[in-house]
Amino acid sequence: MTKSYFIDTSVWVEYFRGTVSALTDLVEDLIKENRVFVSGIIIAELMIGARTEKEKEFLSFYMDGLHVLELKRSAFIGAGGHGFFLKKKGISVPFNDLLIASQCIENNLMLIDNDRHFEAIANHLPLKRHKKG
């Protein structure tokens, strides 16, 4: 079975800015191979960050070509449970990141990110992250 990936907003921003790196090259390859997943959270975060109406429309159109994970009740239950677990360890993580991590864990997706919150999550939960470098 081919491994699929979930790409976080932090990486999409680099990709759409035209940053050339091993990570953005990987994103390009995964898109061509149809192995990229996002969620409504990622789409919304990107559109909120758009600078113009044209850019916002481009992002909406571009994201339509990717696999979009629906937010199910199980993702919210997972995010709540993971957040509770991490809070007991003294770790505070934004709710969006908990939802994203929950979706990745539930759907067995490898996360590609540039966000320290996911590092904290992966240190305590079975979140698989792409190793940079």
Cβ atoms of residues 85 and 125 within 8 Å: yes
Q: Under CATH, which architecture does the 5-122 domain have?
A: 3-Layer(aba) Sandwich (3.40)
* Beta-carbon-side half-sphere exposure of residue 82 (alpha carbons within 13 Å): 30
Please report which confidence band the pLDDT of residue 1 belongs to, taking 50, 70 and 90 as the band edges.
low
Residue 54 dihedral angles phi and psi, to the nearest 5°: -60, -45
At residue 75, the pLDDT reads 95
- Over the stretch 47-96, which tens digit does the pLDDT of each residue have? 999 999 999 999 988 998 899 999 999 999 999 999 999 999 999 999 99
At residue 119, the pLDDT reads 94
- Over the stretch 22-39, which tens digit does the pLDDT of each residue have? 999 999 999 999 999 999
- Over the stretch 101-126, which tens digit does the pLDDT of each residue have? 999 999 999 999 999 999 999 999 99
Measured distance CA(90)–CA(41) in Å, rounded = 25
At residue 133, the pLDDT reads 53
The residues spanned by each domain of the chain are 5-122
At residue 87, the pLDDT reads 97
